[in-house]
Amino acid sequence: LQGPRYISPAPNGGFVVSEECGDVKVFMSSRKLLCSLSSKYGHQFGNPAGVCVDRDGSILVADEQLHTVHLFPEHGPPICLVSTGLRRPAGIACSSFGQLFVAD
């Protein structure tokens, strides 16, 4: 990992890690790399920060540099959930009720 920043548990015992000015990587419970979100989705991050996984298994990423929050579903293209009004989103969390919380 290049400058690991934030980490979140993922389904099946795995975990997700954001890297400073880099990428977001998904690991299996065995700590083996499952995928890089940049490679899997062809997405260019600015400075990925907070990460979390929702109840459907989608990965959410707050990007400090691009001032956005993106959702990366297991299947399909990434979806930009928030693209305005953020200054420097860092922390992110999903509630069990489907609510999204962003520390900006």
Q: Could you tell me the CATH number of the domain that includes residue 43?
A: 2.120.10.30
3: left (phi over 0), alpha (psi -120 to 50) or beta: left
Residue 14 carries which DSSP code? -
Which stretches of the chain are DSSP H helices? 37-41
The reported pTM is 0.94
Q: What proportion of the chain, given as a percentage, has pLDDT over 70?
A: 100
Start-to-end CA span in the chain (Å): 25
10 Å CB burial of residue 76 (0-12, 13-18, 19+) is exposed
Domain count, the chain: 1
- Provide the domain limits for residue 88: 4-103
pLDDT per residue as tens digits for the range 11-52: 789 999 999 888 999 999 999 999 999 999 999 999 999 999
